[in-house]
Structure 1
């Protein structure tokens, strides 16, 4: 009886430690949205797609957003550059990766690659002097 109690207690402790260590990633996996910067290493590594990680930094002040739209199974990853309204470097970067500009329904410049699930929108908020680059993944 005493030996089985020790084994059971050991298993409980191991499971508790594993859950404690894994909880931040579990929480991020089920999050509906997130706002973070490049200094938030865990969120940056987890949410940010490679295309945004390698995006030219056209302003020293920028942040990231993530939104999980559950209805049509869509993930939106956004990078906001503040205090700028130039997009030339971003457009050159996307073109160098093989993306091409396409006509879109929103008031932005839309880019597509051969991946039908991915869309990139580049928009300038004139009143705020902010550039927003959105990477949208449609999983339907």
Structure 2
């Protein structure tokens, strides 16, 4: 009887430990939005696409956003750089990655398209406060 109690206790502790470890990922998967920095390792690794992970950091102050839009079914991943309007390094990076600048954009920004027809990159300059916003929009 005593041995089965120990086995049951160990099993319960193991199951609880796994649940506690997995719970934050379940919450992130179900989340409609997130605002985080590169120092928030779990969120950074989970939400940030490789394109934004490798993007040149054009200012020392920047942060990330994720939004899950359910109507037209899209995920939007963004990096916001503060105190700049210079997009030249971002433009160069997107060109090197094979993206092409588009003539028209659905918002007041510069749109870029790559091989994936469901993916659009927008580069916006905002005035108040002075920022550059790079968004990866994936429609599905």
TM-score (norm 1): 0.92
Aligned positions of 1:56-95 closer than 5 A: 56-95=56-95
What is the aligned partner in structure 2 of residue 28 from structure 1? 28
Aligned positions of 1:36-51 closer than 5 A: 36-51=36-51
Aligned to 1:136, the other structure's residue is in SS state: strand
**Aligned equivalents of 2:107, 2:28: Cα separation in 1:** 29
TM-score (norm 2): 0.92
Cα distance, 1:14 vs. partner? 1.7
What is the aligned partner in structure 1 of residue 134 from structure 2? 133
Cα distance, 1:6 vs. partner? 4.5
**Structure 2: stretches of 5+ with no match in the other structure:** none
What is the aligned partner in structure 2 of residue 118 from structure 1? 119
Q: Aligned pairs, how many?
A: 139
Cα distance, 1:13 vs. partner? 2.2
Cα distance, 1:22 vs. partner? 1.0
Aligned to 2:63, the other structure's residue is in SS state: strand
Q: 1:110 to 1:20 in 2, by over 3 A?
A: same
Encode CA deviations 1:22-58: one digit per residue, 9 max, x unaligned. Answer: 1111111111111111111111111110000111111
After superposing on structure 2, the runs of 4+ consecutive aligned residues of structure 1 that deviate more than 6 Å are none
Encode CA deviations 1:49-75: one digit per residue, 9 max, x unaligned. Answer: 000011111111100001111222211
How much is the aligned-residue C-alpha RMSD, in angstroms? 1.4
